[in-house]
Amino acid sequence: MAIYRGMDIGTATPTVAEQEEIPHHIIDIVDPSDEFALPLFQSAVEKALKEITDRGNRAVLVGGTGLHVRAVVDRLEIPPRFLSIRD
């Protein structure tokens, strides 16, 4: 996903020219070594959508997986992780 910094080729991050032509959001916001779970993605998208609509514009949601689209469109509620089980 293009949310990860420095992974432009592997994630097909839009070029600088493409980003200047059409505004893009939620790109290069997380280091690959950082954890970025689905609820964090949902929060980032909700914030970006609010900023876009507050300016009187509409957003087009592209990229990610079907799960990411559903998380935003259907407002999936993801249960918290059980760290004790993970360890």
Residue 70 φ/ψ region, left for φ over 0, alpha for ψ in the -120 to 50 degree band, beta for the rest: alpha
What is the per-residue pLDDT across 23-68, written as a single tens digit (0 to 9) for each?
889 888 888 898 888 888 899 999 999 999 999 999 998 877 888 8
- Residue 26's contacts (CB-CB under 8 Å, 6 or more residues apart) are 2, 3, 41, 44, 45, 48
Mean pLDDT of 6-15: 78
- How large is the greatest C-alpha to C-alpha distance in the chain, in angstroms? 47
Residue 56 lies inside a defined structural domain of this protein = yes
Run of H or E residues at 19: helix 16-21
Whether 2 is covered by a domain: the verdict is: no
Q: Please state, in angstroms and as integers, the Cα–Cα distance from residue 76 to each residue in 28, 32, 64, 70, 85, following that order.
A: 24, 24, 15, 7, 22
* Predicted pLDDT at 87: 58
Predicted confidence (pLDDT) at residue 11 exceeds the cutoff of 80: no
- CATH, residue 24: 3.40.50.300
What predicted TM-score, i.e. pTM, was given to this entire model?
A: 0.76
Please write the tens of the pLDDT for every residue from 65-84. 888 889 889 988 888 777 67
The parent domain of residue 78 ranges over: 8-86
- How many domains does the chain fold into? 1
Considering only residues 1 and 42, tell me which one the structure prediction assigns the higher pLDDT.
42
